[in-house]
């Protein structure tokens, strides 16, 4: 919109519009650009105006980043998360400033409509990027707040990480969909198709529902996992014949880090339709046993004393439960069962291996007749 500059004629008090002194009402940016490009050739004015917008955006962004570093110098995690917003802010200010400069430097150019479309689309994209960064920041602030509270245990923290992470992913998906819709609405032909799209919404919804049925099932399964507390990040689970720790829970899949560092990726619906073992459900403390097949000559009292000695120096044992008993004896062999407890499933696994190794070594070195003899089969057997 142009604001006319009114001049008073000497012979008449009635104001008139001086067309040679009409300036755009663009605020400070417009005045700055107009004063900078005055006297330059017409083809250089848009380029200089865009360069001014870049410089101003850079200065503002740099000052903001400097202030953030000073304020959050004692919180490096939050400082890094806030620092990720500098690029979307820089481009957002650049695009907005360039649009303002084009109103001054190229008000009647034929390419201005195309440039405005690209700049508006860029602003929408940068705004969506900024919202995604802010969502990450909100997640970090919430988790850091609960980490600072000494009353929050590991189980509750894992639950919060799972739920907040999923909510952030849902919000990011909504932001991206709205951003794409905003860009499409900038195209007049797309807006004109709105009535037709709404008229056929029923048919499209049916087709889309059939096409993405499995995807939607996984999305709802992911939400169910997060808010029913059946599975959390860092839980120890036994799935598909292997044990591992839950590393990541998304809207559509769950990543399980197996004990050999292989990542098993399962759809979210797997954990709502298939039974699985969760060793961390209710509490992270677990108990479990190992068994040894020995001859009847095995010294049970020696094994029990060796077990107590090993548990007394092994930090993996949490002190809750330990027992060594003979649970079966037939066919010339007896079964020695050792029951142990640990703070979590990972430490229990390591404790089992350590105890098994110590007891087997004791039998090999001092009581070899306690070990079953291997059966050697010949070709004629």
Q: Helix (H, G, I), strand (E, B), or coil: what is residue 96?
A: helix
Distance CA 95, CA 102 (A): 11
Which residues, in sequence order, are CB contacts of 242 under 8 Å at separation 6+? 258, 259, 264
DSSP string, 202-238: HHHHHHHHHHTHHHHHHHHHHHHHHHHTS--TT-EEE
DSSP string, 149-215: -TT--HHHHHHHHHHHHHHHHHHHHHHHHHHHHHHHTTSHHHHHTHHHHHHTHHHHHHHHHHHTHHH
Distance CA 104, CA 47 (A): 12
What number of residues does the chain have?
381
CB neighbourhood size of 14 (10 A): 8
Q: Which domains, and CATH codes, for the chain?
A: 18-152 (no CATH), 156-282 (2.30.30.60), 286-369 (3.30.70.100)
Residue labelled with tokens 């005045």: 31
pTM of the predicted structure, to 2 decimals: 0.50
User: Which residues make beta-bridge pairs with 286?
Assistant: 342
Tens-level pLDDT at each residue, the chain (381 residues): 444 433 343 444 444 333 333 334 444 555 556 565 566 666 677 777 778 888 888 998 898 888 888 887 777 777 777 878 888 889 988 888 888 787 777 777 777 788 888 888 899 999 999 999 998 888 887 777 666 555 555 666 666 777 777 778 878 888 888 888 888 777 776 665 544 544 454 545 545 554 445 566 767 777 777 677 778 787 888 888 888 888 888 778 888 988 777 888 888 888 888 888 887 666 667 777 888 999 988 899 999 999 999 998 888 898 888 899 998 888 888 999 999 888 877 788 889 999 999 999 999 999 888 888 764 444 554
């Amino acid at each position: 919109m142009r604001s006319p500059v009114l001049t008073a004629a000497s012979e008449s008090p009635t104001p008139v519009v001086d067309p040679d002194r009409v300036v755009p009402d663009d605020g400070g940016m417009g005045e700055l650009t107009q004063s900078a490009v005055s006297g330059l050739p017409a083809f250089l004015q848009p380029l200089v105006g865009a360069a001014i917008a870049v410089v101003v955006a850079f200065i503002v962004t740099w000052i903001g980043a400097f202030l953030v570093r000073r304020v959050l110098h004692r919180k490096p995690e939050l400082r890094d998360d806030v620092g990720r917003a500098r690029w979307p802010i820089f481009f957002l200010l650049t695009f907005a400033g360039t649009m303002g400069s084009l109103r001054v430097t190229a008000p009647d150019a034929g390419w201005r409509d195309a440039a405005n479309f690209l700049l508006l689309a860029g602003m929408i994209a940068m705004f969506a990027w900024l919202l995604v960064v802010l969502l990450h920041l909100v997640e970090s602030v919430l988790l850091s707040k609960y980490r600072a509270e000494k009353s929050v245990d590991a189980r509750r923290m894992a639950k919060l990480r799972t739920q907040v992470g999923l909510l952030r992913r849902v919000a990011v998906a909504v932001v991206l969909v709205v951003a794409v819709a905003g860009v499409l609405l900038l195209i007049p032909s797309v807006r004109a198709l709105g009535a037709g799209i709404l008229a056929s919404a029923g048919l499209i919804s049916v087709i889309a529902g059939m096409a993405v049925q499995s995807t939607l099932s996984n999305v709802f399964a992911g939400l169910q996992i997060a808010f029913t507390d059946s599975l959390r990040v860092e839980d120890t689970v036994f799935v598909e014949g292997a044990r591992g720790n839950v590393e990541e829970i998304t809207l559509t899949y769950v990543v399980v880090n197996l004990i050999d560092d292989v990542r098993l990726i399962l759809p979210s619906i797997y954990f709502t339709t298939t039974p699985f073992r969760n060793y961390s459900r209710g509490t992270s403390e677990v108990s479990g046993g190992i068994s040894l097949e020995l001859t009847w000559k095995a010294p049970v009292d020696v094994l029990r004393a060796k077990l107590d000695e090993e548990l007394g120096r092994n930090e993996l044992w949490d002190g809750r439960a330990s027992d060594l008993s003979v649970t079966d004896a037939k066919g010339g062999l007896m079964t020695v069962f050792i029951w142990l407890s640990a703070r979590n499933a990972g430490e229990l696994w390591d404790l089992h291996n350590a105890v098994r190794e110590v007891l087997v070594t004791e039998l090999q070195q001092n009581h070899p007749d306690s070990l079953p003899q291997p059966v050697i089969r010949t070709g004629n057997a």
